[in-house]
């Protein structure tokens, strides 16, 4: 595959449709206090999600386990990179405590990449799922997992914990992987999604892309077709937002109408649920996809 660099575009003013609610309010402050007290991490904060104000005020959050230091250096991600932290085996209990305190009926769990561990962190995913089940019976659980370096054994561990949705993001189109997802491989991500469906056919699988990094419409549609061909059920599409000047530039902003068109096309391809919009992230309105 020919490598093509991400186009560097002139800095653009952020459009009005990308204005997100400010992270304020009583619920936001309460959840912030709870997360701090339990010494937990959320992707909402660590990845600088624009929806943190909206989601936390609706008492939803995506918990990030296995520390907040990632072993990969993806060009889009705000999560800290470097030497990974020690695994905290009490973390699953504290996540479950937070889920109970928040009164959640649907919890989303993700992690940093842990390429330093043979199982990529799969054990902690399984322990966290089981801790939530024990503490809050009936609570749905979605996990957003890394690629586990292609380990089917690691996926077996996660699926064996009886989750409700298995999410793994492809993030971008194959042509841009070298710049956007350093250390990942497009074909490997597709394989892991297909394997999850193969070993647990009734568990919905999910994937997502960030748009605005220089991909073409046909490339996006090709990835969507690949995901359906690998039996992915749920799709999320959102606008890439640059966390800092050190990260990849935004090539262009997609209008809401473009996301609406991709949503229609995705439903036409057979996805059972498509969440598409400028501020959509992989766990945005996650419970709606399995309602």
Question: Which of 127 and 18 is assigned the larger pLDDT?
Answer: 127
CA distance 256 to 112: 30
**Among candidate residues 290, 238, 281, the one with its CA nearest the CA of residue 62:** 281
Scan for tokens 């799709």, then name that residue.
235
List strands edge to edge, sheet with 165-167: 41-42, 62-65, 106-111, 140-144, 165-167, 205-211, 234-239, 273-276
Judge contact between 223 and 187, C-beta under 8 A.
no
CA distance 231 to 201: 9
Mean pLDDT of 99-124: 90
Judge contact between 253 and 278, C-beta under 8 A.
yes
Q: Which CATH class is domain 21-290?
A: alpha beta
Per-residue DSSP letter, 171: B
Scan for tokens 């932290």, then name that residue.
85
* Residues 6+ positions from 6 with CB-CB distance below 8 Å: 75, 176, 179, 180, 213, 214, 248, 249, 251
CA distance 193 to 202: 13
Scan for tokens 């209008």, then name that residue.
255
The pLDDT, as a whole number, for residue 3 is 44
Q: What is the pLDDT of residues 68-78, one digit of tens each?
A: 887 777 666 66
The pLDDT, as a whole number, for residue 193 is 98
Is residue 195 over pLDDT 90? yes
Is residue 266 over pLDDT 90? yes
Q: What is the pLDDT of residues 160-180, one digit of tens each?
A: 999 999 999 999 999 999 888
- Residue 7: which pLDDT band, with cuts at 50, 70 and 90? very low
Output the CA–CA distances (angstroms, integers) from residue 271 to 163, 224, 228, in the order listed: 20, 9, 7
Find how far residue 236's CA is from the centre of its chain.
9
The pLDDT, as a whole number, for residue 34 is 81
HSE, CB side, 13 Å, CA atoms: give it for residue 247. Answer: 21
- Residue 6: which pLDDT band, with cuts at 50, 70 and 90? very low
Helix, coil or strand: residue 62: strand
* Residues 6+ positions from 78 with CB-CB distance below 8 Å: 46, 47, 48, 243, 244, 247
HSE, CB side, 13 Å, CA atoms: give it for residue 177. Answer: 16
């Amino acid at each position: 595959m020919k490598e093509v660099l991400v186009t560097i575009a002139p800095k653009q003013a952020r459009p009005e449709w990308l204005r997100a609610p400010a992270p304020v309010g009583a619920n936001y402050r309460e959840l912030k206090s709870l997360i701090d007290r339990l010494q937990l991490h959320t992707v909402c904060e660590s990845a600088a999600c624009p929806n943190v104000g909206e989601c936390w005020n609706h008492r939803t959050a995506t918990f990030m386990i296995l520390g907040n230091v990632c072993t990969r250096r993806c060009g889009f991600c705000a999560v800290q990179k470097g030497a990974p932290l020690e695994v905290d085996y009490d973390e699953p209990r504290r996540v479950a405590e937070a889920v109970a305190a928040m009164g959640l009926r649907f919890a989303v769990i993700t992690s940093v990449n842990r390429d330093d561990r043979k199982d990529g962190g799969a054990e902690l995913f399984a322990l966290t799922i089981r801790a939530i089940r024990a503490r809050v019976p009936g609570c749905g659980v979605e996990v957003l997992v890394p690629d586990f370096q292609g380990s089917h054994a690691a996926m077996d561990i996660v699926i064996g914990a009886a989750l409700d949705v298995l999410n793994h993001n492809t993030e971008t189109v194959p042509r841009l992987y070298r710049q956007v997802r350093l250390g990942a491989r497009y074909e490997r991500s597709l394989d892991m999604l297909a394997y999850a469906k193969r070993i647990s056919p009734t568990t919905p699988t999910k994937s997502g892309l960030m748009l605005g990094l220089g991909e073409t419409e046909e490339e996006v549609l090709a990835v969507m077709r690949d995901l359906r061909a690998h039996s992915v059920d749920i799709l999320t599409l959102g606008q890439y937002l640059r966390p800092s000047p050190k990260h990849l530039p935004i090539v262009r902003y997609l209008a809401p109408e473009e996301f609406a068109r991709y949503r229609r096309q995705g439903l036409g391809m057979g996805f059972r649920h498509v969440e598409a919009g400028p501020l959509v992230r992989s766990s945005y309105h996650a419970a709606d996809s399995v309602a």
